[in-house]
Structure 1
Amino acid sequence: MGSEGLSRLRRLKLGARLRRLLRPRTLAVVVPGCMALVVLEMGARLAKSDLGDAVTLVFLVLMVFLVALRHELRPVPGLNTFGQRCRRLVNRLARWRLAHGVDLRESPPWPEGPPRAWGRALPPLILAGLAATALGLFRHDAVDATRGALTRISHLAWVLALAVVWAVYASGIAVFMTLILSSFLPSFTPKSQTGKEHAHERAAVTGGLFVIALMAAITWLPVWIAVVATLAPPLLWIAWNANRRGPSMEVLWRWNTGPVRSEDWRRLFGIVGLLIAFIVIAIGAWGSGAAMTKGFEVVLDTRTPITHLLALGFLWSAAAAQVLAFAHLAVRWGQGRRNDPSRHRPVSVWVSRTDPHRREILELARLSGLREADVDDTDAVRMRSGSAQGVVIREGWVEVPLGADPQDVRDVVGRRDRRQRRRRAVRQIRRIFKVVKSMGRGQGHLMGFVPHRWFIDGVFLEGPGEAEEGAEPAVQVGPLSVLLSPAVRAYLHRVFHDLAVDVLFVDLSLSWPQLQSALAVLFETHDIFGGRREVLPADFAGLHGVNVVIHEEGFFSDALLIRARALFLLPENGGGDVLPDSQPAASKILPHVGSFV
């Protein structure tokens, strides 16, 4: 078809559209609608501030509501096409998704790096934030100037733009205030009803006092303090972790349908904090105006008081959320560094002060690479002088003759230490299992146990089909840092790491003797093979009533990425070698964020 044919086709399409527009049924809708818009534009021009703009917005919303009612009774021409285009745009935006999770396996390592889209977005966001801050500092009437420029063209266009800005400010305040108030809730809900009520009362009082302090800051302090408080935490976090070694956690991410990559949690949270800070500054500093330096008293002197108030609330709530989030991260960093089960801890020994050869035994322990316990710690190996020719274990004590070989002392004390930690681990796991069983959950409910990771501080439970609508939510019991001693967690880290078990799932219909037998197989396999091979289902052959399944693939979905080698302990009549239809809620493995970690 030549150019002449194409132009003729365009003319025919244009003529068809004009004929549809000039039909009486279409004119009956278009003409009154245009007249209403003209009247609304004329009335909007009488508004002297955004208080009047808010009234115009209310009438505009009512007009849209009336058109929607008219469309339900009799379809409005062109409205279906407009709706289809909006749905296509929403669906296109919905395809921009970031799947994330944690890498519990860590071997082989994933390619590292943050999402490239974040790197491309950071420079323009920095420029936008600096420009918005400069407008607030040097052009105190930035919002009023924008209002004046747009209203010369169309006041309705300004009202629509203002509605978008207000929606962004209001939704941001709601999100940030929710994060602020939820940060005062306890991580683990007490079991008793009285404990729950007291915990929520304390959280409500603390959160209320914090909100009052935030309102006082909005009233009395200039906005540049909020800008600094929004930007400083991620910068300090990045500087603090630049050359420091801390507890490790690899975060997995996948942008849309791209490849899976990983990033260290400290670097990733620093980048996310910077992105949030510059987005907040770019959006909020523009609306703060002269309050950037002069404070709240100038807000009522402007033609846009509502916009200024929302901008102030947006900036201050974002600053408070940033400070609380990174303070929580710093606390978790310190707790993880102190309680990390993977951290090497020398075996501690204790010698009674009444032992006649206490000094010689402690010197021998030091030469053997052992550490003296300050008190009679339950995690310490008890030593005493003995008359035997070799180092022996008798009645729970390691008897050491004077002049013993340090290597023999280290081997025997290490064997005794492993035995003590194993017995203590069994007792503490039994206590946890008893608490979980007391919650009344039976077959099909799984207890997820990850004792060897610092960032997972609870035992999580989930029932069959929990992901479905209406199913009971997963429950967390913890914290593990209280339920398990540091020495036990360090021992379990060695066992789970050497046997390549990242998550242990236990069906709650199993009895404690069955779970104890499975744990005994784990410990014995570790004693025999150490880290030379992974634990296999064949190692559990002969366990009565227990079906062992190992899930090698991890948990990957459109929104969640968990790489883990999971060991399932299921009842023998629970479906053979087939995993439950509903895989465990891997999201419960993830640390809390905003809570964050």
Structure 2
Amino acid sequence: MKLLASSLLRDSQLALTGWWFTLVVVGSLAGLEVAGRHASNDAHDGFAAFALLALGAAVAVRHRREPLPWVQAALGWGRRLGASAAGFRYDHGFDLRGTPPYPRRTPPLVWTILAALAAWGALAGLAWALFPSGWRVVGQYSSYVLYLAALLLLWGSLLLCTLVGVFVPVTVIDRWVRGWVGETDRRGAELAAVVGYAVLASVVAWLVPPTAVLGVCAAVAAAAAVAYTLPGGDGAAILWRSAPGTPVYALPLHRVMAMVVGLAAVVMFNLLLTACGGRLTGGEDAMAVTALFGAMTAWLVPGLVLVGVYWLGSAARSDPARRTRPAVSLVGGNAAERKAAAGRVRQWGFRAATGDGATAGLQLVPAEKSEASEFDPQWPLRVCAADLDGDAVRDRLARRDEIQLRRHFFRGVGKLFRRASAFKAPGGGGFWFAPHWWFIECLGRDDADSGEEAAPPLVGPPYARVLPVRCRQHLHAVLRATRVDMFFVEDGVGYRKLEKVIRVLMELYDVHGGTRYAEEHHFRGLPKVRVMIHDYEPGNPFRSDLYPEPKFDDLSRVRVLHVFRDRGGDEELVEPPFDWSSSPAPVGLVG
């Protein structure tokens, strides 16, 4: 009985204490509402917003110590809202095969977001048109607390954009500095770059209106819309569906990138219009602080755009799907002969080059010293002017270029797997290897003892560091022709064995001119490895009782070449004879 009485007393004290705290919170909110009626600009609003933020932190601390019923009710309402928003989620995966094509369609959520952003922009423009001195007037004559929450959200978004706008260009500058000075101490240069860039943006924001930046955002959004409408080729795509059992649709990867860039540009346009639209109308006297924050953020946008253009240019130059013309060095002869030879080489689809960038070379010599028709000539190939009139030299240059590219490629693969061997797990697993896709930077690790279904972690050096661009381009041509989208290399399979597997693919490509697909029987006879090719697609996962099953999501469509350690077990089982007493004899002797 005493225990029951003490429990009731403690509960009543907690309820009384929670009631008083709730009363203090309500009184504080009412005080903010009253104070907001006397605030004259957004500097005062800033102090009130920080007070609201402190009040929210106090509620969070108190709720953690002693749960408050009204906070629990609000959290429950938020969880129900989040559960209802789960209907907007989509299952997604990658499509690296492309054929047969899935129907292309954009998720409806994208159009919903775009409509919401359009409504936001229209509302921000209307607010500045109706209230040139600042749309804070709406908060003063309605709910000042809700206005403070919106102001905190706006300032937080501007702060985040400012940090990104400073960090991204400075990171690019740091890479340039690293290329100039090496791995020495760069902290002074980095600090100078950060401070200098921030000061420059602040000075420009103070002196120049952000009207031009809004035009830049609109131009980026328009360019993204144009890029979105382009049909594209048979490259990678994102597969998505609204729920299991529903139709699967494809969204090409270039459209995904255009969509992300376009939405980001529209969001930035709306943020800047909401923050500093008064500078466009000649107002913003009552929201000078917000306008200054918006102007500082605005003048960081050109730097982000320049970095984006630089990144797109670099990605386009290093895209394995491109075909860069091979370089041929020209030596010997006089200037006129070299000029004529360079013109002929360009007609063949090569480019004349000097230095170490060439994969093949020609040496101009007199006719009696020509080796254009020799079986095993020395390189650079000795040719005369008459040899350049036919196509035999062109074919030899093309073949020499392929041989050199493959040598560079296999040397790079050796370096790649030697460095990645440090990431092997005790439980076994393997590596995902796909250097012919521009969006896959390095090896992916698949550990057998990992229960995670997320994307495999990337390990080892980037492909771009160990494999030249033209090597990846040549591999892209080989693998797309033989219909191999990715490799899975099991632990224990050395890069020498992987090299033999890839050489079989290259031989198949050479013999059949890129018209025959790779099948498992092409790899029979390779010692100590077992090659298995599987078409991952929705509803068709990889299953094996003898070999490990790599983790792969159910919605992706990829043709994977698995390279396993040979475990045997492929021999056909033959039943022993039932009667051991008889022995075989020729038919003619049976009487």
Global fold match (TM > 0.5): yes
Q: State the structure with bigger RCO (CA 8 A, min sep 6), 1 or 2.
A: 1
Distance 1:119 1:34, change over 3 A: closer
What letter corresponds to residue 235 of structure 1 in structure 2?
Answer: A
Aligned to 1:7: none
What is the CA-CA distance between 1:348 and the residue it aligns to?
5.3
Distance 1:213 1:378, change over 3 A: same
Distance 1:335 1:41, change over 3 A: closer
- In 2, Cα distance between equivalents of 1:455 and 1:383: 40
Distance 1:83 1:55, change over 3 A: closer
Distance 1:392 1:508, change over 3 A: farther
Aligned to 2:578: none
Q: Does 1:224 align with 2:211?
A: yes
Aligned to 2:558: 564
Alignment gaps of 5+ in structure 1:
1-23, 151-156, 577-597
- In 2, Cα distance between equivalents of 1:327 and 1:339: 18
What letter corresponds to residue 436 of structure 2 in structure 1?
Answer: H
Q: Does 1:537 align with 2:526?
A: no
Q: Does 1:424 align with 2:408?
A: yes
Aligned to 1:9: none
Aligned to 2:354: 375
Give the secondary structure class of the aligned counterpart of 1:185. helix
Q: 1:514-556 deviations in whole A, cap 9, x for unaligned?
A: 2332232222232334433322333323333333343421699
Q: Answer with 554-563 or 229-238: which moved more.
A: 554-563
Percentage identity across paired residues of the two chains? 21
Alignment gaps of 5+ in structure 2:
1-11, 40-44, 542-550, 571-591
- In 2, Cα distance between equivalents of 1:265 and 1:490: 19
Distance 1:568 1:278, change over 3 A: same
Distance 1:219 1:399, change over 3 A: closer
| Count of aligned pairs | 531
- In 2, Cα distance between equivalents of 1:179 and 1:34: 41
Give the secondary structure class of the aligned counterpart of 1:547. strand
- In 2, Cα distance between equivalents of 1:543 and 1:395: 32
- In 2, Cα distance between equivalents of 1:340 and 1:37: 58
What is the CA-CA distance between 1:408 and the residue it aligns to?
4.3
What is the CA-CA distance between 1:189 and the residue it aligns to?
13
Matches within 5 A, 1:418-567: 418-437=402-421, 439=422, 441=424, 444=428, 446-456=430-440, 458-462=441-445, 464=447, 468=452, 474-478=458-462, 480=464, 483-507=466-490, 509-553=492-536, 563-567=557-561
Contact 1:253 1:262 in 2 (8 A): yes
Q: Does 1:108 align with 2:100?
A: yes
For 1:394, which of 369, 376, 399 is the aligned residue? 376
Distance 1:427 1:354, change over 3 A: farther
Q: Answer with 426-435 or 490-499: which moved more.
A: 426-435
What is the CA-CA distance between 1:492 and the residue it aligns to?
1.5
Q: Answer with 550-559 or 491-500: which moved more.
A: 550-559
- In 2, Cα distance between equivalents of 1:145 and 1:433: 64
Q: 1:324-356 deviations in whole A, cap 9, x for unaligned?
A: 454344224333444444344556555542499
Contact 1:105 1:564 in 2 (8 A): yes
Matches within 5 A, 1:262-411: 262-288=250-276, 290-292=278-280, 302=286, 309-310=289-290, 312-313=292-293, 316-317=296-297, 320=300, 323-345=302-324, 349-350=328-329, 352-354=331-333, 362=341, 369=348, 371=350, 373-375=352-354, 378-382=358-362, 385=367, 391-397=373-379, 402=386, 406-411=390-395
- In 1, Cα distance between equivalents of 2:29 and 2:126: 32
Give the secondary structure class of the aligned counterpart of 1:565. strand
What letter corresponds to residue 174 of structure 1 in structure 2?
Answer: L
Give the secondary structure class of the aligned counterpart of 2:562. strand
Aligned to 1:18: none
Aligned to 1:68: 63
What letter corresponds to residue 160 of structure 2 in structure 1?
Answer: A
Distance 1:368 1:284, change over 3 A: closer
Give the secondary structure class of the aligned counterpart of 2:171. coil
- In 1, Cα distance between equivalents of 2:233 and 2:199: 36
Aligned to 1:54: 49
Q: Does 1:206 align with 2:190?
A: no
Contact 1:382 1:396 in 2 (8 A): no
For 1:40, which of 19, 28, 37 is the aligned residue? 28
- In 1, Cα distance between equivalents of 2:343 and 2:120: 66
- In 2, Cα distance between equivalents of 1:118 and 1:469: 26
- In 1, Cα distance between equivalents of 2:282 and 2:400: 69
Contact 1:540 1:548 in 2 (8 A): yes
Q: 1:375-419 deviations in whole A, cap 9, x for unaligned?
A: 365412546656899834323455768579835444444444433
What letter corresponds to residue 359 of structure 2 in structure 1?
Answer: D
Matches within 5 A, 1:123-202: 123=115, 125-136=117-128, 139-150=131-142, 157-171=143-157, 173-174=159-160, 177-178=163-164, 180-182=166-168, 184-185=170-171, 198=185
Contact 2:344 2:388 in 1 (8 A): no
- In 2, Cα distance between equivalents of 1:364 and 1:213: 49
What letter corresponds to residue 63 of structure 2 in structure 1?
Answer: A
Give the secondary structure class of the aligned counterpart of 1:548. strand
RMSD: 5.0
What letter corresponds to residue 515 of structure 2 in structure 1?
Answer: R
Q: 1:548-570 deviations in whole A, cap 9, x for unaligned?
A: 34342169999997543232334
Distance 1:122 1:85, change over 3 A: closer
Distance 1:166 1:476, change over 3 A: farther
- In 2, Cα distance between equivalents of 1:249 and 1:510: 29
- In 2, Cα distance between equivalents of 1:259 and 1:180: 43
Contact 2:96 2:557 in 1 (8 A): yes
What letter corresponds to residue 80 of structure 2 in structure 1?
Answer: R
Q: 1:476-501 deviations in whole A, cap 9, x for unaligned?
A: 52352x53334433322221111112
What letter corresponds to residue 408 of structure 2 in structure 1?
Answer: R
Contact 1:391 1:400 in 2 (8 A): no
What letter corresponds to residue 348 of structure 2 in structure 1?
Answer: G
Give the secondary structure class of the aligned counterpart of 1:426. helix
Give the secondary structure class of the aligned counterpart of 2:409. helix
Distance 1:539 1:367, change over 3 A: same
What letter corresponds to residue 335 of structure 1 in structure 2?
Answer: S
What letter corresponds to residue 494 of structure 1 in structure 2?
Answer: A
TM-score between both structures, scaled by the size of structure 1: 0.70
